[in-house]
Structure 1
Amino acid sequence: MERMVLEARRRTSRGSRAARRFRRQGLVPSVLYGHGDPEPLLLDAKEVERLLGKSAGETPLVDVKVEDRAPETALVRDVQHHPVSRKVQHVDLLRVEMTEKLDTTLPVLLEGESPAVKLGGILMHMNEEIEVRALPKDLPDAIRLDLGRLEKIGDAIHVSDLEIPDGVEVITPGRITIVTVQAPSVAEKEEGKAEGEEEKPTAAEPEVIGKEEEGSSS
């Protein structure tokens, strides 16, 4: 896997006011952690956007170079975006050892077209990622799934059906459904059921009424 080098510099100022000032300067606050003390950093916003654009929907490994130090391999663990502008607000970077297996999630990317959908079925993407364990060198960017395997309405592809590269151990149970094609009426029923569960009110907690203490006046 080709890794991008991400230049970084140490961050000494903390707090939301400092973070806003850095962002106005085109910098993104970040933290590099794991295998040592957490280290606050600043990244170039354009370089971060380029990295995320290059690995959209994937789990990128990068070489983080902090000023005059030798590059350290890290996994982009979490990215926070502004709720309106969607600009990157903060990035978490996890140091990794190339000889040490790590647990992470990988996106499942859907490719091609399903014959069952052409027959009128509705494609239901039930789970968009899986948990895996692998050495950094064996970690793929994503797991790809060919929708052409869904030939009939009712067909489904489970975790156990995915094509997993050598050296990668899947943690997610094999019975979990990744994608399925359902008849329109069934799909609408499932969506309505899911919405109903989300909107179902929580039962009120019963009020506990204590007994009056003996000898108390009425």
Structure 2
Amino acid sequence: MTVLHANERTEFKRSSRTKIREEGLIPAVVYGNNTENKSITVDSKDFIKTIREAGRNGIISLEIGSDKRKVMLYDYQIDPLKSESFVHLDFHVVNFKEEIDVDVSVHVVGDAQGVKDGGVLQQVLHEVSVRTLPNNVPDFIDVDVSELQVNENISIGDLDTSGKYSFNHEEDEVIVSILPPRVEEEIDSGEEQEPGEPERVEGREGSEENKEEA
């Protein structure tokens, strides 16, 4: 299990939080499962490394001095101007006997037959909410679209959970579909003229004859 070290935080002024972030640390809080709430700080580089190793919904061994807690990242805030710049974290202590609700990424895999036939793949859900025990949280959910034809879709009810988790969605909620090929509209160039001689041909010919006689 991935280990993340933390230090307890005792200063809560805005200036203190700013100083913490300037030192490369992230202010955070850990709570839940009938344990004492604690305000802490974690090293930003260590945290990013931990999340990459454990996954967004992975279980982390959080060590605050001699206090060790099994936690999951419950919520976080990111600086909107900087990617992967976390400004606050919420850790929730895990109760391994109690189901939890978590968001899990959806990965579309395979080359859809409908796309080969000219259709357009549309992924409606990129994340799904599941309810499960902490040890059964999937890292992601694969949705195989290899056999999907034009005008067909895969919905929540089509997925196999192997009994490890359930979805917090209606069974008919669409995850991915294949739209029919786009049909280009024919451009109308205007009314077609009927075949035949141009109008007033006789008039023009007559005028030419009159010129010759003159």
Q: What TM-score does the superposition give when structure 1 sets the normalisation length?
A: 0.75
1:147-158 matches, within 5 Å, as 147-150=145-148, 152-158=149-155
Gaps of 5+ in 1: 187-218
1:120 corresponds to:
118
Say whether the 8 Å CA contact 2:54–2:60 is kept in structure 1. no
C-alpha displacement of 1:160: 0.9
SS in 1 for 2:139: coil
Corresponding position: 1:74 with 2:71? yes
Query: What is the root-mean-square deviation in Å for CA atoms of aligned residues?
Result: 1.9
1:66-215 matches, within 5 Å, as 66-69=64-67, 71-86=68-83, 87-150=85-148, 152-185=149-182
Determine the C-alpha separation between the residues in 2 that align with 1:13 and 1:142. Answer: 38
SS in 2 for 1:75: strand
Say whether the 8 Å CA contact 1:138–1:166 is kept in structure 2. no
Q: CA, structure 1 residues 14+134, in 2 after alignment: closer, same or farther (shift >3 Å)?
A: same
Determine the C-alpha separation between the residues in 2 that align with 1:89 and 1:74. Answer: 19
Q: Provide Cα deviations, 1:146-180, integer angstroms capped at 9, x if missing partner.
A: 22132x11121101111214321222211111111
Determine the C-alpha separation between the residues in 1 that align with 2:135 and 2:170. Answer: 24
Q: Which of the numbers 11, 20, 23 marks the counterpart of 1:22?
A: 20
- For 1:160, the aligned partner's letter is G
Aligned length: 181
SS in 2 for 1:20: helix
Gaps of 5+ in 2: 184-214
- For 1:67, the aligned partner's letter is G
Determine the C-alpha separation between the residues in 1 that align with 2:103 and 2:161. Answer: 13
Determine the C-alpha separation between the residues in 2 that align with 1:165 and 1:75. Answer: 23
- For 2:39, the aligned partner's letter is P
SS in 2 for 1:59: coil
Say whether the 8 Å CA contact 2:100–2:134 is kept in structure 1. yes
SS in 2 for 1:98: coil
Determine the C-alpha separation between the residues in 2 that align with 1:45 and 1:178. Answer: 34
1:43 corresponds to:
42
Q: Which runs of 4+ in 1 moved over 3 A?
A: none
Rg: which structure is higher? 2
C-alpha displacement of 1:9: 1.0
C-alpha displacement of 1:55: 5.2
Determine the C-alpha separation between the residues in 2 that align with 1:149 and 1:53. Answer: 32
Determine the C-alpha separation between the residues in 2 that align with 1:184 and 1:114. Answer: 14
Q: CA, structure 1 residues 119+18, in 2 after alignment: closer, same or farther (shift >3 Å)?
A: farther
- For 1:145, the aligned partner's letter is V
Say whether the 8 Å CA contact 1:143–1:163 is kept in structure 2. no
Percent of residue pairs bearing the same amino acid type: 25
Q: CA, structure 1 residues 12+177, in 2 after alignment: closer, same or farther (shift >3 Å)?
A: same
SS in 1 for 2:146: helix
